[in-house]
Structure formats: structure tokens, C-alpha cells
Amino acid sequence: MEELTLKLTLNEVNLILTGLGNMPYIQVSELIQKIQSQAKEQLNTSHQQKQ
């Protein structure tokens, strides 16, 4: 499957996660985990570069 790279603010990502949280768990659990994992990785990298 073809992948896309999106640039979103942290607030926008949280809004998307909130919306997904209102959907049936079985449909969105993997997507939520994927978003959280990628965001955590990027935020960790960002914080390390600032130090």
C-alpha cells in the first residue's frame, strides 16, 4: 500500500485522535497506535535535537 507523509501540528494530531476515539475500537485501534508511535518517535527526536 502506498504511504503518505503529512505535516500536522500536535493539536491537529490530538484532534484526529479524539475523533478516532469516538469510533468503534476494532476499526481504529491499529491506526491510533500507528499515529501515536510515529508521533512519539518524532517528538523524542525533536526534544533531543533541542538539548
List, for residues 1-51, the tens digit of each pLDDT value. 999 999 999 999 999 999 999 999 999 999 999 999 999 999 998 777 877
pLDDT for residue 48 = 78
Q: What is the pTM of this model?
A: 0.80
pLDDT for residue 10 = 94
pLDDT for residue 21 = 96
pLDDT for residue 31 = 97
Amino acid found at 30: E
Among 51, 34, 46, 50, which residue's Cα sits nearest to residue 9? 46
Among 8, 2, 18, which residue's Cα sits nearest to residue 39? 8
Q: What DSSP designation does 6 have? A: -
DSSP-H helix ranges across the chain? 10-21, 25-50
pLDDT for residue 20 = 98
